[in-house]
């Protein structure tokens, strides 16, 4: 019996350890692969050309700025829409709505998160784009803003679900304490519950942004894919081309091993770095807060 337990213990431990290490290994392998396919760009394309303003790969114009700008403006737009709406929804579900309403609302929001992005893109192209064009009086409805709206719609379920869990995990005694001190319900939420759940809420926001940066199909269908540099705020209401849509649209066609192929992987590296920086910032912020909290407690 003890012999049996010992062996199952050993095997399980090896399996779990293997699974843990393998995820690190896979990320490393992906990174190595990206580097191997993307870095030859630096020898094939003069670095100045990568910072030009024109993306037209079939004639060897490899300016990445329009694509980076496109991704940034769509993602920022989505963040500015998704964060207030998502947080408000999470606070409503966790703090204000009665328990039975929460049991109904939360699964619904999560089902919303499971909608395939191509379906959303199709709806966006046929329904949302015409509405955007008519109401905002833009030349076309296929704009960065349309993409931001849809991406916000996709990020909100993730954001709400994670943020709500974090708010729900705040001990009831915190709220009771605040209310006992005479705080109103709103003061309790804003000054006590939300700060207490801050790291979870921040994680929720980062997961939402992560979803928005990496999303491909929807933005490819609704942002118009015109590779122009978004130079002013006005560009939010003009077509843009994102990095993800560029990779998706062009990778199928490109000749293996050509400069264009390497540049597409270079875009992948840039995307990887942006996602890395976002994650790093998020964990640094959470970490610093935890340290401060520990100082206060000790």
Chain contacts with another protein (rule: CB under 8 A):
4-5, 7-8, 11-12, 53-59, 61, 66, 125-126, 129-130, 133, 139-142, 220-221, 224-228, 238-239, 241, 245, 248-250, 252-256
Phi–psi pair at 293, nearest 5 degrees = -60, -40
Q: Is-contact 86 134, C-beta < 8 A?
A: no
59 vs 294, beta carbon nearer another protein: 59
Q: Which long-range contacts (CB under 8 A, 24 or more apart) does 166-173 make?
A: 166/197, 166/199, 166/200, 166/201, 166/203, 166/204, 167/90, 167/91, 167/94, 167/95, 167/193, 167/194, 167/197, 167/200, 167/201, 168/94, 169/197, 169/200, 170/196, 170/197
CB of 21 to another protein, least distance (A): 21
What's the closest the beta carbon of residue 207 comes to another protein, in angstroms? Answer: 27
Q: Give the shortest CB-119-to-another protein separation in angstroms.
A: 14
Our CB check for another protein shows the closer of 12 and 111 to be 12
Q: What is the C-alpha to C-alpha distance for residues 187 and 165, in angstroms, rounded to an integer?
A: 20
Which CB, 137 or 298, lies closer to another protein? 137
Closest to another protein by CB, 63 or 200: 63
Nearer to another protein (CB atom), residue 45 or residue 238? 238
Helix (H, G, I), strand (E, B) or coil at 185: helix
Cβ at position 3, least distance to another protein in Å: 9
DSSP secondary structure code for residue 62 in this structure: E
Residues 42, 210: contact at Cβ < 8 Å? no
Q: How far is the CB of 268 from another protein (least distance, A)?
A: 18
């Amino acid at each position: 019996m003890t012999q049996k337990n010992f062996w199952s213990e050993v095997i399980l431990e090896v399996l779990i350890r293997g699974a843990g290490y393998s995820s690190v290994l896979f990320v490393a392998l992906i990174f190595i692969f990206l580097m191997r396919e993307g870095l030859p760009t630096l020898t094939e394309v003069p670095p100045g050309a990568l910072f030009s303003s024109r993306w037209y790969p079939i004639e060897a114009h490899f300016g990445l700025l329009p694509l980076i700008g496109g991704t940034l403006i769509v993602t920022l737009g989505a963040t500015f829409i998704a964060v207030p709406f998502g947080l408000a929804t999470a606070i409503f579900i966790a703090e204000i709505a009665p328990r039975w309403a929460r049991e109904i609302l939360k699964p619904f929001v999560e089902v919303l998160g499971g909608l395939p992005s191509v379906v959303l893109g199709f709806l966006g192209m046929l329904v949302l784009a015409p509405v955007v064009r008519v109401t905002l009086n833009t030349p076309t409805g296929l704009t960065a803003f349309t993409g931001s709206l849809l991406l916000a719609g996709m990020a909100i379920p993730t954001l709400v679900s994670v943020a709500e869990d974090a708010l729900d995990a705040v001990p009831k005694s915190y709220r009771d304490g605040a209310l006992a001190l005479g705080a109103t319900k709103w003061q309790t939420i804003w000054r006590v519950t939300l700060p207490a759940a801050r790291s979870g809420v921040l994680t929720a926001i980062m997961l939402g942004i992560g979803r928005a940066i990496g999303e491909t199909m929807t933005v490819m269908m609704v942002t118009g894919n015109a590779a122009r540099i978004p130079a002013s705020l006005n560009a939010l209401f003009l077509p843009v081309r994102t990095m993800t849509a560029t990779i998706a649209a062009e990778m199928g066609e490109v000749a293996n091993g050509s400069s264009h192929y390497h540049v597409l992987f270079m875009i992948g590296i840039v995307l990887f770095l942006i996602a890395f920086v976002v994650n790093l910032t998020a964990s640094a912020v959470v970490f610093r807060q935890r340290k401060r909290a520990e100082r206060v407690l000790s």
